Amino acid sequence: MKTKCLIIGSGPAGYTAAIYASRANLEPVLIEGYQPGGQLTTTGEVENFPGYPQGVDGNMLMDDLRKQALRFGTNIQNGQVTKVDFSKRPFTLTTDTATYEADTVIISTGATARYLGLDDEQKYMGMGVSACAVCDGFFYRDKIVAVVGGGDSACEEATYLSGICKKVYLIVRKDYLRASKVMQRRVLDNTKITVLFNSNVIGLFGDPVLEGAHIIEYAGTEREQKYDIPINGLFLAIGHDPNSKPFSEYVATDPQGFIIANGQSQATSVPGVFAAGDVCDPTYQQAVVAAASGCKAALDAERFYIENQA
Ligand code: NDP
């Protein structure tokens, strides 16, 4: 299939790029991947997307963005981009089911949840370990769970789980929470949440399902101590890694793998290839910022297409 503009990813960045590219007559094709709607579909209420004074369900927000992209004629395809050739234009991109040729490309593949890297995580995957409270919290009704992390995601997940579970531990490796003040307050004022500061999970136990975690507190100091907590579920909320792998042979990335967008525009190191959203945002990682960068990427792609037509 040949297109003037291929958009990869279906989060706020991808759909917003699609809305703008469609309205600019670029007749975009959007590949929505295996998780249509992206990370917001695993969130509950989104309270800080402008225009929704009462908040909005993450799935509903993404569904509305999808419908808006379709309304202007975006061609939405399913698949996972596994291989690209950005060495010449038109660019070639291969998914598990099709091959595309594109005059311009917008990469908006987002980011994926990080795990601690413990062997035990794999052992209990699907039987106690999760990176999505909204997806899996239901299975831990009236049970004891722990959330790892000290950012907004961790506080949001702990607060959400406190409405379902008997008790929630929040395991924070530093002596403070990195989350915004309002999220911190919700956690610290919640009697069902116990925050374990200066603590890390070093192992898990239980047979065959998770029964507890080995904790180390004040590791490497005189105050170091190890103890166990009884938990039925462990939720990881320790950040995300950018989904830039299929493209990193061609486009420049920073040491963490975030695609580098040049200056004021969303241009990557490859002329005609643009990036938007969390895949190129190590700093803000907000839905509204992703949407804005999707808009910029589409405007950049339109300009590039017009200036480089044969
Ligand atoms: P963050 O990067 O903000 O926080 C990650 C947390 O995990 C930090 O507390 C970090 O600790 C901790 N951490 C990282 N690696 C490990 C590890 N190996 N072991 C233990 N702890 C670890 O990620 P978030 O996903 O929370 O947020 C990403 C962005 O999304 C932020 O900009 C955030 O504001 C935003 N966001 C906004 C929401 C909202 O406004 N409703 C909801 C969710 C996210 P340390 O502090 O020590 O580095």
pLDDT per position as a tens digit, 268-287: 999 999 999 999 998 888 89
Length in residues, the chain: 310
- The alpha carbon of 144 and the centre of ligand 1 are apart by a number of angstroms equal to 22
- The alpha carbon of 114 and the centre of ligand 1 are apart by a number of angstroms equal to 10
Q: How far apart are CA 143 and CA 263, in angstroms?
A: 49
Ligand 1 pocket test target in 40, 47, 153 with most atoms within 8 Å of CB: 153
Q: How far apart are CA 124 and CA 113, in angstroms?
A: 16
CB 284 within 8 A of CB 297: no
The per-residue pLDDT for 23 is 98
Q: How far apart are CA 36 and CA 271, in angstroms?
A: 27
Instruction: Quote the percentage of the chain above a pLDDT of 70.
Output: 100
* 136 catalytically annotated: yes
Q: How far apart are CA 187 and CA 297, in angstroms?
A: 37
Tell me the CA distances in angstroms from 249 to 107, 203, 244, 259, one per residue in order: 14, 36, 10, 11
The larger pLDDT score, comparing residue 120 to residue 20, is at: 20
How large is the average pLDDT for residues 134-147? 93
* 165 catalytically annotated: no
How large is the average pLDDT for residues 201-209? 96
Chain mean pLDDT for the chain? 95
For the chain, where are the alpha helices, taking DSSP H only? 12-23, 58-71, 119-123, 133-136, 152-162, 181-188, 287-307
Q: How far apart are CA 278 and CA 91, in angstroms?
A: 23
* Catalytic, out of 64, 135, 228, 254: 135
**pLDDT tens sequence across 23-33:** 999 999 999 99
Tell me which DSSP letter residue 258 carries: P
CA atoms 287, 277, 29, 37: torsion sign: negative
**pLDDT tens sequence across 58-105:** 999 999 999 999 999 999 999 999 999 999 999 999 999 999 999 999
**pLDDT tens sequence across 230-267:** 999 999 999 999 999 999 999 999 999 999 998 889 99
The pLDDT of residue 175 is above 90: yes
Q: Phi and psi for 195 in degrees, rounded to 5?
A: -95, 125
Q: How far apart are CA 201 and CA 178, in angstroms?
A: 18
The per-residue pLDDT for 95 is 96
The per-residue pLDDT for 310 is 64
The per-residue pLDDT for 41 is 86
The per-residue pLDDT for 134 is 84
Q: How far apart are CA 153 and CA 207, in angstroms?
A: 29
**Among the listed residues 294, 308, 246, the one whose alpha carbon sits nearest the alpha carbon of residue 266:** 294
The per-residue pLDDT for 46 is 86
**Among the listed residues 10, 16, 64, 19, the one whose alpha carbon sits nearest the alpha carbon of residue 37:** 10
* 135 catalytically annotated: yes
pTM of the model: 0.83
